Structure 1
Amino acid sequence: MSEKKRGNPYLTGNFAPVRTEDDFDLEVVGEIPEGLAGTLYRTGANPQFEPLDPNYHWFTGDGMVHAFRVGGGKVTYRNRYVRTPKWELEHQHGRSLFGGFNPMLSDPLAAGQDSGVANTNILFHAGRLLALEEGHMPFEVDRDTLAPLGYASEYAGRVTAHPKLDPKTGEMVWFGYGVGPHPFSTTMSYGVTDASGKVVQRTDFEAPYSAMVHDFLVTENYVLFPVMPLTGSLERAMKGLPGYAWEPGKPSYVGLMKRGEGVSAIRWFMTKPGYVFHPMNAREEGDRIIAEVCLYDAAPLFPLADGRPGARSGARLTRWEFDLTGATDQVKETAIDDLDSEFPRLDERFAGLPYRHGYYAADTTGAKSVKMNAIAHIDLKSGVRKVCTFEPGDQVSEPVFTPRSATAAEGEGWLTTVVWRAAENRSDLVILDASDVDRGPVALAKVPRRVPFGFHGNWVDA
C-alpha cells in the first residue's frame, strides 16, 4: 500500500472498512424500554477492496447495511454488504475496478458497467427496504436477511438518498440531480412514489448550475431544491482536477415549487454562498415557509476547484424563511444555535408540518470536522437545548427518533444512535429518552467490534 493511501483519513481509524459480515447477540446494559421493538437500519461506505484512487473519498465506498434488531429486552446485530452490480463485478475479479470521483482511474473492465454503491441511506416504504445513494436508483434488500433484491428499475434514473415520506398521504417525494448525459449535468428530476409503491411522476428541469444537491425540503404543499456552490464539472474531472469542488464565488439558490403545479413553476430564491448537507424540517406558516437546516459557511470534505484543500467548516442550525407573496426572492437567514451540528432529525410523524422538537449529532469541541461527540435535543419553541456528551474520543452517529406509540405526543419516545468507543475500538447501540437526553443512556447494547462511521439510517417497527 502506498504511503498516500495509508494516510488517507477515510481509510483509517473508525472510517476504515470492516470486511467481515457478522451476526451477534449483543450484551445489554440497562433496560431496553418496554414497547421498543423493531430494527434500526444504518448504512455507510465500506470499500470491499483497496480503492484505486489514492485520494479516495468517503462518499464513494461500497455500501454496508448494519441492522440492530430490538425486541423482548434483547438486541441482535447483523451486517451485510449491499451486493450491487459494482460489488459483484469487483468481487468476481478480486479487486477494485472503479475510480470513484476520479473516472480517469477506472479499470477498463469497469467501462460501461454500473457503478452504484447504495451506501448513503436506507428506508422502508410500501413494504420495501431501499438502500440509497444519489447517483443511482434505489436498491432493494431483504428486511430480514439483508440479501440483495436488485434495483427498483421503475425509478428509471438517479434518485436522491434523501426522499421524504409524507406522513399524511404516505407518498415518497424525491428528486435526482445530474440526470442528463453525464453526472455533472445541470438537469434535475422531481418525482413522486405513491403509498402503494408505484412511481407516479418523474419530471426533469434545469438547475442554475451543476452542483451536488445532497438533500432537499418538502412541506405539505411545497418542495424546495437547494442548489449551492459545491459544483460539479466534467471538464475539471477529465483534467484530473476535482469533479466536485467548492466555488464560493457562486451564489446559492433554492428552487421553490408548489406540489401539483409542476417544475415549470419553480421560483428561484437566492442567498449567500454556503452549503447544507441536511435540513431538519420545513413547514408552512401563513405566507411564509420556515425551515431549519445545518448550514456551513463552506462545504466541508471537498477541495477548491483548483485542487487546493478547502477551509474547515462546522455547520450551525440556521432558520431559513421564504416569502410566498412575491415581495422578495432573497432567503432570510437567522442563526438559532451556536453548537456545531450535523445529521438533524425530528419526529417523522411531523415531517413537512409544524413541529417543535429537533435532534442532531453535535460537536462540543469545535473541531470543525464530521466527527461528533454528542447528541442534542432542541426545543424550537422555548429555545432550550439539552445535550448528552460522551467520553473523550467517543464519536456518535445520526440520532433516529422512535415514538413511544403511534398516538404519543410529539417528542415522546426514544433516540437510537451508534457510538464508537474509541478507547475500546468497538461500538455500542445507545438508547436515549428523547425528551431527557442529558440524563444519558437509558440502555445500550455492546457490539464486540467497531461499526465504521456511516451516514444515515431509519427505524422500522417490528
Structure 2
Amino acid sequence: MAKAFPTDEPFLQGFYAPLHMECDAPNLPISGEMPKAICGSLYRNGPNPQFAPRGPYHWFSGDGMVHAFHIENGRVAYLNRWVRTPKWQLENQEGEGLSGAFGNPRYSDPRVVALGSTIANTNIVWHGGRLLALEEAHAPYEMEPRGLASKGYHTFDGKLAGPVTAHPKIDPVSGEMVQFGYAAKGRFTPDLSYQVVDRDGRMRRCDFFQGPYPSMVHDFVVTRRHVIFPIFPLTGSMERAMKGAPPFAWEPDKGTHIGIMMRDGDVSSDIRWFTGDPCYVFHPMNAFDTEDGKVVCDMMKYPVAPLFPRPDGSPSSDKTPSATLVRWTFDLNGNSDTYKEAPLSEHVGEFPRLDERFAMLPYRHGYMQGGNVTDPQNPRASRNGIVHVDLATGRSQIWDPGPIDVAGEPIFVPRRDDAPEGDGWLLAVVYRGAENRSDLVVLDAANVSAGPVATAHLSHRVPAGFHGNWRPGPL
C-alpha cells in the first residue's frame, strides 16, 4: 500500500510537492501571441518521487519526471511522463517506496540496491537523434521524443564504462558532446572519466583518472580547446553512509582543486591542477579561451555547499548559502597554481544559461533564475525572477513573475539560426503560487523586463525541477 508522504519535509511540500499524475494536454490556452518562428520542443526534467521515500528525503533523490512542451504554428501541446527506470518499475509493481535517498543501503530494500538503478531526474538533452534523461551516477536513459516513452539505458553501443554527468557540453561548432563521470569506478571513489561523443552519437573516447579526493562533481566546464574538472570539498563516503552519517558532507579543509587539460590531451599526464579557497559551484554559465593563453570560467559560486551538512551531521553554515556569478581566470602560461576571481553580477541566482550557439566561446549575454533555489522555506529569496546579465555593459534586466510566483530555469531559443547573439526568446516554466499551478512563459531575450510576449497556461502544478533543453524543429 502506498504510504502518505511526510508532512515535515520542506522539499516535499508546496512548490516542491510531487505530482501524482501523468497527463496530456494537446492544445494549451495561450495569453498573448506565441511567435510563429518558435518551432520545436522544450523538455524539462526534475525530481518527482512516485512514492514516499524510506528514511530522510533529499531533493536530489526523487524519481525523474519529464515535462514536454511541443510548440509549432503558434500552438503548444503539453505532456508529462515519469522516466520508467528499473527502480521506478520495481516500486510501481510493489506499490510502495523501497529506497532511501541516493539509494542509501541503510534504508533501501536489497532488491533496489541490487538493481543499482538510475533515477534520471536532473537533465534531459537532445543529441545524435536521441533524447537522453540524465543524472550523474549512471548511464543515460533514453526516451522517445514525442510521447516520452522510456526506452532504457543508452550505453553508446556498449562503449560507455561508468556513469555520465547530468551536464554534458555540446560543442556548437563540431557537434561533439563532451562528458565526464565521477565515482567512475564505484560509489564514493575518487575516480573520474572523460568521454567524447561525436555529433552522430558515437563514443570516441572514454578514459579514466583520479581526482584529489572523492567529491560530488555535479558539473564541469569546456572551452573550444580545454576541458576543466572542478573538485570541490563536498566529499562522499561509503563509511559515513553505512554508519547513518551523511553520505555527502562539506569538508572545507580539503580546499578547491581545478584540473585543466587540452580536450585532446592525455588524462594520465596532461592535467594541470590549480588550487583555491573552499567553495562550491553546481553550475557554470560558460567558459572560453583567450588569445593570450588564459582560460576564463564564469561560475555561479556558493561560499559553502548548500543542501549538505558537515560530516557529523551539523549544518554547514548558519543560514542557507546563496550563489552569485563570478569569473575565474586561469593563466596557463604562468607559473602559479592559483587563479583570479572577479564578480560579474550581484544578483543571487542559479541555473545559469546562455545562447548555446556561443557555448565555449567569448560571449555577451547570460541568463539565470533569480533567487535562492536551495532554500525551500523561501525560494523567492533575494529578487526572484528571470535575470538577463549583459556582460559587456555590466547591466542587468529582471522580470519578476509576481509576489508569490517562482520562475524556473530560462532556456534560450534563437529567432533564427543566423540571428545575432541574444536575438531570440527565453522559455521558462513559472509556478503560480496563488493558484497552485504553472505556466510556460516566453520572454523577448533582449527585453526581459517587459514581461512575457506569450504565456501557455497549465491547469496543474509543475513541481520545482532542475534542467531542460530545446530540440529545434517539428517532430
TM-score by length of 1: 0.97
Shift of 1:114: 2.7
Partner of 1:459: 470
- Structure 1 residue ranges, 4+ long, deviating more than 3 angstroms after superposition: 1-4, 364-370
Q: 2:243 aligns with which of 236, 239, 244?
A: 239
Shift of 1:378: 0.7
Unaligned 5+ segments in structure 2 are: none
Partner of 1:304: 310
Shift of 1:3: 10
CA distance in 2 between partners of 1:78 and 1:19 (Å): 14
Query: How do 1:131-280 and structure 2 match up within 5 A?
Result: 131-153=133-155, 154=158, 155-180=160-185, 182-264=186-268, 265-280=270-285
| Larger mean Cα displacement after TM superposition, 136-145 or 357-366 | 357-366
Partner of 1:448: 459
Shift of 1:294: 0.2
Q: 1:3 to 1:136 in 2, by over 3 A?
A: closer
Partner of 2:294: 288
Contact 1:178–1:185 (CA under 8 A) maintained in structure 2: yes
Contact 1:364–1:374 (CA under 8 A) maintained in structure 2: no
Does residue 1:48 correspond to 2:54, yes or no?
no
Unaligned 5+ segments in structure 1 are: none
Deviations 1:156-207 (A, max 9, x none): 3200000000111110000000012x31000000000011111111000000
Identical aligned residues as a percent:
51
Partner of 1:421: 432
SS of the aligned residue for 1:358 comes to: strand
SS of the aligned residue for 1:448 comes to: coil
Shift of 1:370: 8.0
The number of aligned residues is: 460
Shift of 1:92: 1.2
Shift of 1:369: 7.4
Contact 2:131–2:144 (CA under 8 A) maintained in structure 1: yes
Shift of 1:33: 1.3
Q: RMSD across aligned C-alpha pairs, in angstroms? A: 1.7
| Larger mean Cα displacement after TM superposition, 202-211 or 372-381 | 372-381
Q: 1:331 aligns with which of 332, 339, 362?
A: 339
SS of the aligned residue for 2:239 comes to: helix
Partner of 2:369: 361
| Larger mean Cα displacement after TM superposition, 147-156 or 195-204 | 147-156
Partner of 1:35: 37
CA distance in 1 between partners of 2:247 and 2:311 (Å): 8
Q: 1:129 to 1:294 in 2, by over 3 A?
A: same
SS of the aligned residue for 1:87 comes to: helix
Q: 1:294 to 1:262 in 2, by over 3 A?
A: same
Deviations 1:11-62 (A, max 9, x none): 1111111020001131100001120111110000011111112x20011111
Shift of 1:5: 2.8
TM-score by length of 2: 0.94
Shift of 1:4: 9.7
Partner of 1:68: 69
Partner of 1:374: 385
CA distance in 1 between partners of 2:28 and 2:309 (Å): 40
Deviations 1:326-356 (A, max 9, x none): 3211021111211101000001011101111
Q: 1:369 to 1:8 in 2, by over 3 A?
A: closer
CA distance in 2 between partners of 1:218 and 1:381 (Å): 21
Query: How do 1:390-401 and structure 2 match up within 5 A?
Result: 390-401=401-412
